[in-house]
Amino acid sequence: MSNFAERKPHAVFTPYPLQGHINPLFKLAKLLHLRGFHITFVHTDYNHKRYLKSRGPNALHDLPDFRFETIPDGLPPLDEDADGDVSQHIPSLCDSIRKNFLQPFLQLLARLNHSATTGLNPPVTCLVSDCFVTFPIQAAQELEIPVLLLSPLSAAAFWSFMHYGTLVERGIVPLKDESYLTNGYLDTKVDCIPGLENYRLKDLPDFLRTTDPNDVMLNFFIEETAKIPSGSAVVFNSFDELERDAMNAIYSSSVFPSVYTIGLFPLLLNQSPQNQLASLGSSLWKENTDCLEWLESREPGSIVYVNFGSITVMSAEQMLEFAWGLANSKKPFLWIIRPDLVTGGSVILTSEFVNETRDRSLIASWCPQEKVLNHPSIGGFLTHCGWNSTTESICAGVPMLCWPFFADQPTNCRYMCSEWEIGIEIDNNAKREEVEKLVNELMVGEKGKKMRETTMQLKKKAEDVTSPGGSSYVNLDKIIKEVLLNQKTSFD
């Protein structure tokens, strides 16, 4: 992987300011850094404080060409009782991104380019942004530099969001009233999204499940996705064979100037020696690494890993159903429980549950998930179906139990359970008996065994496309040359 002999190109990265969106953009930043780019990664002030708190004050030393900058998020501070370690209110963030982010970002770019005149850093040569954070497109146009947009979602979920406006125009959404959530309407097949013809409304990202035509999230996605075609290119943490129908529809739509698949990121990063980047993570929570030591003492393939991601919340009653389902399965488990996982209160697990599972369970507040999933003792993953978790589980060859919570997770769940056959869906209102039964099916049942084999086959395909000469490996070099360095040849 060659570095550029000339002055380093300088890419400025702008994630949507939530953990699940930061992770894939951070991996792409690492990939470009390994190929010779100077990186500036832009956090909001709030997230940067969380980042330093989780990583320690010395986390950013000794990285002269991978730097962090901040811009304000335009939101009032969280109340004083909050510990500053929770994700912010998503609709408020969306509203603020549209209204408040562009000017501070332009000022930051001007500052970076000014410091380039004194040799502190190279001038900014390109922007890389989350595709749902489109203000960098305007900044790129003003500076006359390319802007690459990364979808942090599956291609199918991205493509669904691109058609929210069509669904509104056709009167399919907003819902007529609340009864449409439960009367079978969400089972309606959607025939207006090319490549997703057999999808039901309930399979699409769930922000369309609103009765309000002025819903902040519905309108945020309609407005932001309308701007995406103005970017220089769109890139996916996926590969063509994984999402053939959605990708074929996107390629043939001619909506975007260029489209590339360069996934799956964990395996693509494995192709490079990490050097000083190895210890540089993207977590906003402090990761508990003691769990890795605990896993060392466990039998291969014996542990159920449970993690509902960075946003999912549940009721105390639902929490207890999962807890007793796990306990009654008699299977050992590692359960990641964020302090804010339970709505309206703190997490309380009964002493009876703790005593029942003491010798075969470990509970932690956060963990280095990729290391956990790749540990030989992990046999299955009970997940919320976020795209990062989905792809990381595929890269580790671990089958899943699926409990989608919101956003793109129903779309990913459909992939896992209906198309790829590497997951089993748990009912939204899961009871302990169902959890117990499905945990056992996943870990020791015939279906679990078959899913494990299928997941390993998908992992092999992902390894092939991310190896030298594979499509994702080649596409990353194409993006660098054709988009970020803008070196298209006359016959391209």
**352-361 pLDDT, tens per residue?**
999 999 999 9
Q: Does residue 208 lie in a domain region?
A: no
- pLDDT value of residue 249: 98
- pLDDT value of residue 64: 83
Q: Does residue 456 lie in a domain region?
A: no
Angle at 363 between CA 362 and CA 364, to 5 degrees: 120
Q: What is the DSSP letter of 484?
A: I
Residue 79's pLDDT band (boundaries 50, 70, 90)? low
**Max Cα distance, the chain (Å):** 71
The domain total for the chain is 2
Residue-by-residue DSSP string for 395-417: HHT--EEE---STTHHHHHHIII
- Active-site residue, from 21, 33, 163, 384: 21
Question: 100-139 pLDDT, tens per residue?
Answer: 899 999 999 999 999 999 888 999 999 999 999 999 999 9
- pLDDT value of residue 487: 72
Sign, CA torsion 438/439/444/447: positive
Three-class DSSP category at 321: helix
Question: 230-240 pLDDT, tens per residue?
Answer: 999 999 999 99
- pLDDT value of residue 3: 40
Whether residues 274 and 292 share a domain: the answer is no
The stretch 31-45 carries a mean pLDDT of 94
- pLDDT value of residue 99: 87
Q: Does residue 267 lie in a domain region?
A: yes
Q: Does residue 162 register a pLDDT over 70?
A: yes
Residue type, 457: Q
- How deeply is 427 buried, as exposed, middle or buried, from its count of CB atoms within 10 A (0-12, 13-18, 19+)? exposed
Centre a 10 Å sphere on the Cβ of residue 389 and count the other Cβ atoms it contains. 25
CA distances from 259 to 130, 254, 335, 398, 462 (A): 14, 9, 38, 29, 19
CA distances from 24 to 218, 354, 392 (A): 23, 35, 11
Q: Token match 């769930």: residue?
A: 206
Q: Which two tokens stand for residue 71?
A: 């811009």
Q: How far is the C-alpha of 141 from the C-alpha of 277, rounded, in Å?
A: 31
- Active-site residue, from 85, 130, 203, 215: 130
Q: How far is the C-alpha of 444 from the C-alpha of 425, rounded, in Å?
A: 17
- pLDDT value of residue 83: 53
The stretch 345-374 carries a mean pLDDT of 92
Q: Does residue 143 lie in a domain region?
A: yes
The stretch 443-469 carries a mean pLDDT of 98
| Alpha-carbon 346 to chain mean position | 26
Q: Does residue 242 register a pLDDT over 60?
A: yes
- pLDDT value of residue 5: 33
Three-class DSSP category at 225: helix
Whether residues 432 and 345 share a domain: the answer is yes
Q: How far is the C-alpha of 17 from the C-alpha of 23, rounded, in Å?
A: 10
Q: Does residue 53 lie in a domain region?
A: yes
Q: Does residue 452 lie in a domain region?
A: no
Whether residues 310 and 365 share a domain: the answer is yes
CATH of the domain at 321: 3.40.50.2000
User: Could you give phi then psi for residue 287, rounded to 5 degrees?
Assistant: -90, 130
Whether residues 345 and 238 share a domain: the answer is no
Q: Does residue 22 lie in a domain region?
A: yes
Q: Token match 């009864």: residue?
A: 179
Q: Does residue 279 register a pLDDT over 80?
A: no
Residue 475's pLDDT band (boundaries 50, 70, 90)? very high
- How deeply is 262 buried, as exposed, middle or buried, from its count of CB atoms within 10 A (0-12, 13-18, 19+)? buried
- pLDDT value of residue 331: 98
- Write the CB contacts of 67 (distance below 8 Å, at least 6 apart in sequence): 39, 40, 41, 60, 121
Question: 322-337 pLDDT, tens per residue?
Answer: 999 999 999 999 999 9
User: Could you give phi then psi for residue 100, rounded to 5 degrees?
Assistant: -120, -10
Q: How far is the C-alpha of 404 from the C-alpha of 419, rounded, in Å?
A: 16
Whether residues 71 and 140 share a domain: the answer is yes
- pLDDT value of residue 490: 39
CA distances from 159 to 42, 155, 216, 394 (A): 26, 6, 19, 21
Q: Does residue 69 lie in a domain region?
A: yes
- pLDDT value of residue 126: 98
21 annotated active-site: yes
Whether residues 371 and 233 share a domain: the answer is no
Whether residues 108 and 131 share a domain: the answer is yes
Whether residues 116 and 145 share a domain: the answer is yes
- pLDDT value of residue 85: 60
- pLDDT value of residue 275: 64
Residue 492's pLDDT band (boundaries 50, 70, 90)? very low
Q: Write down the mean pLDDT value for the chain.
A: 92
Whether residues 263 and 291 share a domain: the answer is no
Residue 311's pLDDT band (boundaries 50, 70, 90)? confident
71-77 long-range contacts (CB < 8 A, ≥24 apart) are: 71/42, 71/44, 71/45, 71/101, 71/104, 71/105, 71/108, 72/44, 72/45, 72/100, 72/104, 73/17, 73/44, 73/45, 73/46, 73/100, 73/101, 74/99, 74/100, 74/101, 75/46
163 annotated active-site: no
Whether residues 232 and 369 share a domain: the answer is no
Domain that holds residue 357: 287-443
Q: Does residue 306 register a pLDDT over 60?
A: yes
Range name among 40-49, 124-133, 371-380, 476-485 with the lowest pLDDT average: 40-49
Do residues 414 and 203 make contact, with C-beta atoms less than 8 angstroms apart?
Answer: yes
Q: Which two tokens stand for residue 278?
A: 């190895």
Whether residues 272 and 291 share a domain: the answer is no
Range name among 82-86, 416-420, 429-433 with the lowest pLDDT average: 82-86
Residue type, 75: L
Whether residues 292 and 252 share a domain: the answer is no
The stretch 5-27 carries a mean pLDDT of 90
Q: Does pTM surpass 0.85?
A: yes
349: closest CA among 369, 322, 375? 322
Instruction: Count CA atoms within 13 Å of residue 61 on its CB side.
Output: 4
Residue 78's pLDDT band (boundaries 50, 70, 90)? low
